[in-house]
Each structure stands twice: as C-alpha cells, then as structure tokens.
C-alpha cells in the first residue's frame, strides 16, 4: 500500500470519522429523551440511527486510515464507549419505561443486561482476530426493537432477554457481518435487506408492521446458522482485538 502523506485534508477526514463515531452517543441521548417522553417509536428510530453509524464507521476508519493519520487517538476505545452506551445502556433504559416487562422485573433485567455486557465488552477475545464475536454480541437494541414491535407479553420477553444474557457467556462465534470473510458479500447484502425490512416495519407500526417483521426473521435464522457453523468448523478462532473495528 502506498503511504499517504499526513496532509491537513487527510487528518481532517480522519477526525471526521471519529466525529461520526462519537455522534452515536448524541443519537443515543436523543433515544433516551424520547423514552422519557414515552415516544417509543422515535426511540427505536434513534437506536436504528446509532446502529447504522456503527455499521459504517469501522469501514470508514479503515478506508481513511485513521490510525495512521491520528496515531495518538484511540478510535477503538471511543467506539467501545459509544457502543456500550448505545447498544447496552440505551436499550436497558428503554426496558425501564416501555411496557415490555412486569414492573417488578424491569430494573433486575436491565441490571442483568448491564452486567452481562460489561463482561462481554471487557473480554480480550470478545472479537477474534479472524473477525467473529465471542458470545452474544450485546445486540440489545435489536432485542428491544423486536420485543416492542412484536408484543409477545411480559413472560416471553423476560425469557428471551435472559437467554440472550446467558448467551454472552457461551462461547459461540457469532458472525461479524461486515468483516467475517465467509460469505461476506452475502452477509452484507442480506443484512441490508434485513435493515430495510426493520425500517419499513417501524414506519408502519402499529398497523401492518408484523408481516414485515416476520419476513425479517430470515436474517436472524441465517445469522444464527452461520454463527453455529463458524463455531463448529475445525478452524479454531484466533483471539485478539482486530484493529479499527466497531465493537458489538
């Protein structure tokens, strides 16, 4: 690779990538404000925005070579802080106020999410060198999105959340859609189709959204199937933190 000069334009572009990552915290704060105002659809929309930022900032960081142009700034640490806020704290806050759990279960289950994800984010093998996640990758924003739109009831919601929390400690290698080399173009394409279905479902809530959500389950099944295959294949995972990757 040809070494690029540290020109002002390249350095500004690198800082803009970091600013994009940091903006996820602002949109997460807007989601929390919407929750306080009981605008739960808007909160889900803001969480979608944070997920979209997380889906592209890692690729932009590698493209703009932010480590090279701003070597003294830890973009991975920034990304982890923002992701813990937007993927864990914001959904946990959502659980406290949305009518998804019995009132007496809300704080305990939100606390379980926080502690399980604190463990997951702190593992040195949370992301493997061959670009998979170890254990359930704290997709709590996705979990609360489905629980809110599907309306399965208090007990079912609690069971699903507890299963996901337990999954943090099970050493399944989960697909990293934008980076896992296995079927990467298909992973990205299906992921974009899934995101489109979720956006359309939220736009149609509360009437006519469920068929779109059920259609989106194809990607959840595909994601789990590929993750199990990655776990059981003979090639072992290599532990280590990939450079400039978005955290779970």
128: pLDDT confidence band, cut at 50, 70 and 90? Answer: confident
130: pLDDT confidence band, cut at 50, 70 and 90? Answer: confident
Over residues 32-76, the pLDDT tens digits come to 999 999 999 999 999 999 999 999 998 999 999 999 999 999 999
Residue 241 has pLDDT above 90, yes or no: no
Place of tokens 């605008």: 39
Q: Are 59 and 79 contacting, i.e. CB atoms less than 8 angstroms apart?
A: no
CA dist., res. 39 & res. 186, Å (int): 35
CA dist., res. 38 & res. 148, Å (int): 13
Mean predicted confidence (pLDDT) in 4-31: 94
Q: Please tell me the least confidently modeled range out of 91-95, 122-126, 152-156, 244-248.
A: 244-248
Task: Please report the pLDDT score of residue 73 as a whole number.
Answer: 95
Task: Please report the pLDDT score of residue 178 as a whole number.
Answer: 85
Mean predicted confidence (pLDDT) in 213-242: 81
Residue 238 has pLDDT above 70, yes or no: no
Task: Please report the pLDDT score of residue 234 as a whole number.
Answer: 57
Residue 161 has pLDDT above 70, yes or no: yes
Task: Please report the pLDDT score of residue 165 as a whole number.
Answer: 97
Q: Among candidates 199, 126, 205, 198, which has minimal Cα distance to 168?
A: 126
129: pLDDT confidence band, cut at 50, 70 and 90? Answer: confident
Mean predicted confidence (pLDDT) in 177-181: 88
CA dist., res. 146 & res. 50, Å (int): 16
Ordered structural domains, the chain, with CATH: 8-232 (1.20.120)
Average pLDDT of the residues of the chain: 91
What does each C-alpha distance from 34 to 43, 79, 93, 94, 203 come to in angstroms?
5, 23, 11, 9, 16
Q: Among candidates 27, 89, 35, which has minimal Cα distance to 57?
A: 27
Query: Can you give the length of the chain in residues?
Result: 248
């Amino acid at each position: 690779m040809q070494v690029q000069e540290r020109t002002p334009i390249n350095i500004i572009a690198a800082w803009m990538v970091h600013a994009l990552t940091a903006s996820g915290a602002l949109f997460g704060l807007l989601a929390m404000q919407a929750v306080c105002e009981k605008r739960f659809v808007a909160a889900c929309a803001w969480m979608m925005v944070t997920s979209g930022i997380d889906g592209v900032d890692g690729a932009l960081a590698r493209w703009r070579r932010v480590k090279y142009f701003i070597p003294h700034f830890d973009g991975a640490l920034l990304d982890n802080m923002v992701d813990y806020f937007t993927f864990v704290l914001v959904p946990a806050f959502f659980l406290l106020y949305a009518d998804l759990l019995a009132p007496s279960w809300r704080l305990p289950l939100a606390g379980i999410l926080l502690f399980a994800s604190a463990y997951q984010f702190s593992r040195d093998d949370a992301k493997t060198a061959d670009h998979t996640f170890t254990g359930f990758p704290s997709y709590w924003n996705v979990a609360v999105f489905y629980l809110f739109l599907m309306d399965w009831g208090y007990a079912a919601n609690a069971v699903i959340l507890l299963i996901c929390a337990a999954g943090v400690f099970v050493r399944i290698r989960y697909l990293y859609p934008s980076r896992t080399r296995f079927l990467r173009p298909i992973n990205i394409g299906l992921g974009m189709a899934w995101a489109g279905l979720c956006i359309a479902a939220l736009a149609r809530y509360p009437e006519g959204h469920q068929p779109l959500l059920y259609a989106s389950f194809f990607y959840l099944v595909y994601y789990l199937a590929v993750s199990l295959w990655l776990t059981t294949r003979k090639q072992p995972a290599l532990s280590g933190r990939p450079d400039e990757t978005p955290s779970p």
